[in-house]
Structure 1
């Protein structure tokens, strides 16, 4: 049995890439670029275009020396780095773009071929010639990839001969002075750049052959960078030669000037044909391999993963490339499609660069043998999208919209591969750096960012407690719910994987959920409050249901004492099963002179409540009990200023209680009987008075709707509610 034939750097990467780079633009438009932009302008355009090709070439080379590169080229790299949704969406776009670009190359070939032999220049004539050429190179690719690649040597030779023929050609067009900058009547620079830019695309043609390479990690960097480098030297050298050999007016008006000045014009014709046919052949060889790789990953139909022969040639995928390319040839007018195709390539290059940057920045396992600075990838990423925006914003938006649609489709399809993408490392890196930053600034934090430990239990109204905990935590707060499983023997703890709860009730709200074994509920709560959390995101609030019937529980009293000692904010919800949260329209905050810290915490909670979609139309009242016959205007002004400082829109109501001296809870019963949610501060009391407090509070909760008891930790500011001195 014959050994599977694999290719090296020169045949597998350098040659197909260089032949795509040295294409029609070089022969038919480089002179026009120099004529309109001047020599300096042309060199600047060539340089800017090569910023993208060089940064992308460096990025792909670095990634290629870290990962095992399989078949599929750019698709394989992106899918293994950034995941199937991004890799697949770019891969599909590249596949279609590659197939349609074949049509563009062959239409260019047909124009030159028909003009040379005077076969006719109508759109039908171009269709016939282009279709015949497509059939020929498809048959060549079907017969043997090896023969197709060896054919490229002949084409490369033709290009070299044509360049030599141009350099040693006639000097009939030498200008009196060389135009260094754009002259009057020249085409704007951005249009000139747009025309030239396709010349530097195509260096990924060799990467698409990754599955057919002997040593991809060696061949991809070597072949790609040499192809880009040689292309850069050729374009700059030829631009200088053209500028000093031909006057700018001739360059602007005559696209075939290189053919006319050549020592042997048929050599230039052969170069044009070779360049167009080799570029088309590169698409015929590379495009099917992208689709084959995607089909092996189940991104596209499995039928396209099948190949023939010992090299597993992608026959089915090649047939689809032929159909798409032929459709492009039959359409004939491909200006709009060409713009979109260019955007697909630029988008792919942009994602290659950002994939390298993220791998280098976030992935601790990223250890390429070809090392470059990570800013190279970031520069390439921004350069790609800056060029896209400048060239054609509408085409850019269309390309991004198509890629986004493919991305969301693949996300919903939930294709899985046996490979970890970079996003896990990215989020870990961001979280790590964020935690360090938060921890470093912890001393200076003045606002409350809730990090809640929630004990919701299992009851029919658990969902409301979960809902309120998420409301109280705001957009950036964290809620972690603990389910406590009582195991008196506590023989073996749950495995780490078993402690994670994946219930939709929690995930839909964005609540983290855990379950652990405990030998006692109250001891378990105390232990969790003592040990849970880590630097940067230490939990600061305990939330649970209001404990009815525990007024005589010594264990509950000890747990409460421990939580107060640990200096947690405490939130207890008494949920009214009958009224629930009513219409989410009314919230009361009850203040008294002793509620100095609780008052500020209530205002913070009120801010988060108002921001919640369910509570957006609620009316929030601050009710202050004036027990000392202080002038209501003074009290109102002071409370208004305190509320205004915290940017909470509330209604302030002063309750005169100096004469009647009604009990605080009696006033709550009177004024908040129909309130949807009432917030009441827990006063400072000795732990032995807890039973009395619970009994009184239970009685209150029987007469009003859902209520939230609040006990603020010491980090809250003291709001001066003592108006006697006023």
Structure 2
């Protein structure tokens, strides 16, 4: 197989870029821009447009010196930096924009060609000439990329000669005074800018050839920036020259004025035709390579990834470019096509700039040899979307909608490439800075922000414990489920990569999954509770299933004592395997005088349950057992005030028990037998009383449905539920 031919900086990047920059807009519309915007307005438009071009050129050049730049140019850069969904959606938009830009150049060519030879200049006439030119260039590209690039050297010479001829030309159209600004007869500056902007997009022609370059990391920065700088100088000098040479009214009405003022008109004609045809050829060469690269990555159909010959020429992709370009030619209006192309390129350039900004800000491995200031990328991003908004807000919204639809389509397609995008680094950076901010603040007794360590165990009803864990953690809480693998020897721990569990249930609920080996379940729980977490987001809650049959376990007692000493919130779920959570329609909270901290924690949990889509605004009751004959209305008012302060809507029920003195659990069994979820506080008891407490609790669980036992840490406020301690008040209640 013959060796693939590679190109250097001048032939592969600078020449195709500068020929596209000094193209149809310069010859056919720069005079019109000056005539409508005035000299100062034109210079402002040129500088703003080049602000975007320079920032984008700098950004892509910096990225190019850090990453391996493969075929596909800007698509390759974005897909490897920001991921396939964004890179692919912008790549598709850029590909379509490139194809439409071919139509832009060929319609410009047709205007000049038909006018010079006296052919018709109606829209249909331009369509015919443009189509013939498109066919000819497509055939040339199919014959040889190398031949097409060599032809560009002669065109570059023709452009240089045409510019010399223009600067040495006649001044018979010279104005009496130079118009510095636009007047009432002028087209709005927004429209003028939109028509002009494609003039500065040409530098992507060289980047699109990245797969055919000998040294992309060297050629792309040098060739791109040299082309942009050369274009900026030519446009400024030519705009100043035109404003002093031709009257504004002539500039606004005659698109061929440069040909008329030139010293030797045929030289300008050669320059116009060479520039427009070479720009179109640049799109014909570069566009298919973008589509080919996307197809190789499986973003677009694989059929477009197939090539021909030693250089793998993208023939199939070339045919699609032809179809899209022909559609643009059938539009027939150069100004309309220019505005469409502007939106596609501005969107792509905005993402290139933000890609560089994120890489330099978040990626510790980003070490380009071509270094620029980080803010340049951010400035370019803001400039792109500000200009889009100013030009045409509806078109901007439409472009972003298209990009968004493509993004989600590619995200669902789940295309994978052997490359890490920048988003992982971005999130790591955000999390790192956020943790430092959180850790720097002193802890204050505020609303509960749950960070739950969950020990669910593998069983048929595990998902219900996971579901409730996520419910009581709220929208922003963190839940980490630990699977404990009992290994009495425990000589070899699991590798770090093996400790992470990827499970559909976890991902759906937003729960982190971990697994570790332990030589003892209870000591394992204690060790995790003692060591897991890091500054800023320390775990504050332990949740697990209710332990049946462990009332006499010394190990379980020690574990409980340690968890209480560590001051965790404790949540134990006794899950009713038959009733489950019923219809997710009712929740009971049981309070007593000694439940002051547990009560506030229950009300915090109530907030999260109410907000849960699964529970769908259930009926929540707070039930208080009045063992001391306190006036019911006063208890009700006091609880209502506590509930109101915590912004939770509940029903309050006071159960008088001063006379009968029924056991607390018996009352719960009577009132909550049909409740979907019952919350009961765990009282303070001496550890030696654990067996008695567990046995009584087990008996209760036989008579009611799913129950969550709650033990709040000291971080919760004490709600004043002991209504007998103030004797003066008590006399008023009796």
For the aligned pair, the TM-score class normalised by the smaller chain equals over 0.9
1:314 corresponds to: 314
- The equivalent of 1:33 in structure 2 is 33
Aligned to 1:575: 575
How far the C-alpha of 1:124 sits from its partner, in A, is 4.1
Tell me how far apart the structure 2 counterparts of residues 323 and 419 of structure 1 sit (CA, whole Å). 32
SS in structure 2 of the partner of residue 654 of structure 1: strand
* Greater shift in the superposed pair: 451-460 or 88-97: 88-97
Matched, 1:709 2:713: no
Matches within 5 A, 1:34-73: 34-73=34-73
CA distance in 2, matches of 1:630, 1:334: 87
For 1:51 and 1:212, locate their aligned partners in 2 and report how far apart those are by CA, in whole Å. 28
Give distance in 2, aligned partners of 1:564 and 1:711.
9
Does 2:304 align with 1:304?
yes
Does residue 1:687 correspond to 2:687, yes or no? yes
Q: Whole-Å Cα distance in 2 between the matches of residues 327 and 177 of structure 1?
A: 43
Match of 1:269 in 2: 269
SS in 2 for 1:80: helix
Question: 2: CA distance between counterparts of 1:624 and 1:336?
Answer: 74
Equivalent residue, structure 2, for 1:259: 259
Contact 1:340 1:396 in 2 (8 A): no
Instruction: Write out per-residue CA displacement over residues 634-666 of structure 1, whole angstroms, 9 at most, x where no aligned residue.
Output: 333332222222221122223333333332222
Matched position secondary structure for 2:202? coil
Residue in structure 1 matched with residue 240 of structure 2 by the alignment:
240
Deviations 1:373-405 (A, max 9, x none): 111111111221222222223332333333333
Indicate the residue corresponding to 1:389 in structure 2.
389
Identify the residue that residue 131 of structure 2 maps to in structure 1. Answer: 131
Corresponding residue of 2:640? 640
Partner of 1:183: 183
Matched with 1:287 is: 287
Following superposition, the deviation at residue 681 of structure 1 comes to 0.8
Q: 1:580-634: per-residue Cα shift (whole Å, max 9, x none)?
A: 2122111111111211111111111000000100112211112222333333333
- Whole-Å separation in 1 of the counterparts to 2:473 and 2:254: 70
**Could you tell me how far 1:194 is from its partner in structure 2?**
1.6
Q: Which runs of 5+ in 1 are unaligned?
A: none
Q: Does structure 1 conserve the Cα–Cα contact (< 8 Å) formed by 2:640 and 2:652? A: yes
Task: Say if 1:90 and 1:403, in contact at 8 Å, map to a contact too.
Answer: yes
Q: Which residue of 1 aligns with 2:627?
A: 627
What is the Cα deviation at residue 16 of structure 1?
Answer: 1.1
Q: Which residue of 2 aligns with 1:591?
A: 591
**Residue 232 to residue 336, structure 1, CA distance change in 2 (3 Å):** closer
3-state SS of 1:183 partner: coil
Helix, strand or coil: the match of 1:593?
Answer: coil
CA distance in 1: counterparts of 2:599 and 2:141, whole angstroms: 78
In structure 2, distance between residues paired with 1:508 and 1:384: 37
Contact residue 195 and residue 338 of structure 2 kept, 8 A? no
Tell me which moved more, 77-86 or 25-34. 25-34
Task: Tell me, in whole angstroms, the C-alpha distance in 2 between the residues paired with 1:346 and 1:13.
Answer: 21
- Larger deviation, residues 8-17 vs 439-448: 439-448
Q: Distance in 2 between matches of 1:544 and 1:222?
A: 62
Give the direction of change, closer, same or farther, for the CA distance of 1:16–1:372 in structure 2 (3 Å limit).
Answer: same
Report the Cα offset of residue 327 of structure 1: 4.1
Contact 1:442–1:536 under 8 Å retained in 2: no
**Residues 334-364 of structure 1: per-residue CA shift (max 9 Å, x gap):** 8766544432222211111111111111111
Instruction: Structure 2: state its 5+ residue gaps.
Output: 730-734
Displacement of 1:236 in angstroms is 1.8
* Distance in 1 (alpha carbons) for counterparts of 2:4 and 2:563: 70
Query: Structure 1 residue 468 and structure 2 residue 468: aligned?
Result: yes
Q: Hey, what's the Cα distance between the residues in 2 that align with 1:334 and 1:548?
A: 80
- Between 116-125 and 69-78, report the one with greater CA deviation: 116-125
Distance in 2 of aligned mates of 1:671 and 1:2: 87
Cα displacement string for residues 650-702 of structure 1 (whole angstroms, at most 9, x for unaligned residues): 22223333333332222222322222111111111110111111122122222
Q: Counterpart of 1:367 in 2: which secondary structure?
A: coil
- Look up the match of 1:546: 546
- How many Å apart are 1:475 and its aligned residue? 0.9
- Name the CA distance, whole Å, in 1 between partners of 2:581 and 2:314: 63
In structure 1, the partner of 2:508 is 508
Contact 2:208 / 2:287 at 8 angstroms: preserved in 1?
yes
- Of 117-126 and 215-224, more deviation after overlay is shown by 117-126
Deviation readout 1:277-315 (Å, 9 max, x if unpaired): 111010111112222222332333444334344433333
1:322 and 1:460 map into 2 onto residues whose CA distance is 59
Q: What is the aligned partner in structure 2 of residue 198 from structure 1?
A: 198
2:223 alignment counterpart: 223
Deviations along 1:549-607, one digit per CA (max 9) or x if unpaired, are 21111111111101101111000111122322122111111111211111111111000
Q: Report how far residue 243 of structure 1 moved.
A: 2.2
Any idea what SS the aligned residue of 1:514 has? strand
Q: Report the aligned-residue RMSD.
A: 2.1
- C-alpha distance in 2 between matches for 1:336 and 1:658: 86
Query: TM-score when scaled to structure 1?
Result: 0.95
C-alpha change, 1:298 and 1:6, in structure 2 (3 Å) is: same
2:534 alignment partner in structure 1: 534
Q: CA deviation at 1:469?
A: 0.6
The corresponding residue for 1:24 is: 24
Match status 1:10 vs 2:6? no
Q: What is aligned with 2:732?
A: none
Q: Which moved more, 1:580-589 or 1:561-570?
A: 580-589
Q: Is the 8 Å Cα contact of residues 340 and 399 (structure 1) preserved in structure 2?
A: no
Structure 1 distance, partners of 2:648, 2:617, is 14
> What residue number does 2:650 align with?
650
**d(CA) in 2 for partners of 1:475, 1:417:** 32
Tell whether the 8 Å contact from 1:340 to 1:398 is kept in structure 2 after alignment.
Answer: no
Q: Distance in 2 between matches of 1:502 and 1:145?
A: 48
> Quick check: 426-435 or 254-263, which moved more?
254-263
Q: CA deviation at 1:470?
A: 0.7
Shift of 1:713: 0.7
- Report the CA distance between 1:123 and its aligned residue: 4.0
TM-score of the aligned structures, taking structure 2 as reference length = 0.94
Structure 1, 318-327 or 34-43: larger mean CA deviation: 318-327
- Greater shift, 347-356 or 697-706, is seen at 697-706
Contact (CA 8 Å) 2:597, 2:717: kept in 1 or not?
A: yes
User: Equivalents in 2 of 1:383, 1:154: separation in Å?
Assistant: 36
- Please tell me whether the aligned partners of residues 8 and 215 of structure 2 are also in contact (alpha carbons under 8 angstroms): yes
For the residues of structure 2 that align with 1:141 and 1:168, how far apart are their CA atoms? 35
- Partners of 2:57 and 2:660 in 1: CA distance: 84
